[in-house]
Amino acid sequence: MKFLVDRCAGGRVAAWLGDQGHDVVELRDLGRDPGDENVLALAAAQERVLVTIDTDFGELIYAKRRPHSGLVRLPDVRSALRIALMEQVLARHTAELEMGAVITVRGRRIRVSLPPKAEPGSTR
């Protein structure tokens, strides 16, 4: 799978995903933070699942119907726990992520939401 890892999700999560054989781009390696709208647009343009702890992306996807290629929202916890949670997400929900699902992890619960329709005229 292809991932774009947000700054807040951490370099250790990105490194772990790469070690698992995934195609990973870290947002911090791309320079200044371009803002949430542009981050989501970049992930969609490159067909990457965005990995973040930021909750603002849900509003962009659901309220503003921005195009996306999937989202994993992890809790703001130690990076070792984020890696363990990401491992669970991939073990159980890879097919849904490949379909562009939004996955939110809260505590030990994993919520999977089907991808909402994007704005008219968008690719997703």
Inter-residue contact 55 to 9 (CB < 8 Å) = no
Do the domain assignments include residue 119? no
Q: What's the domain range around 71?
A: 2-113
Give CA–CA dist 46/113, Å, rounded.
21
Q: Taking the model in full, what pTM does it have? A: 0.89
Do the domain assignments include residue 124? no
Q: How many domains does the chain have?
A: 1
Please report, for residues 17, 57, 70, 94, 102, the alpha-carbon distance to residue 37 in angstroms, rounded to integers and kept in the order given. 24, 8, 14, 25, 16
Do the domain assignments include residue 122? no
Do the domain assignments include residue 121? no
Do the domain assignments include residue 26? yes
Give CA–CA dist 109/122, Å, rounded.
31
What is the Cα gyration radius of the chain? 13
Do the domain assignments include residue 120? no
- pLDDT tens per residue across span 75-89: 888 888 999 999 999
- pLDDT tens per residue across span 87-102: 999 999 999 999 999 9
Do the domain assignments include residue 118? no
Do the domain assignments include residue 29? yes
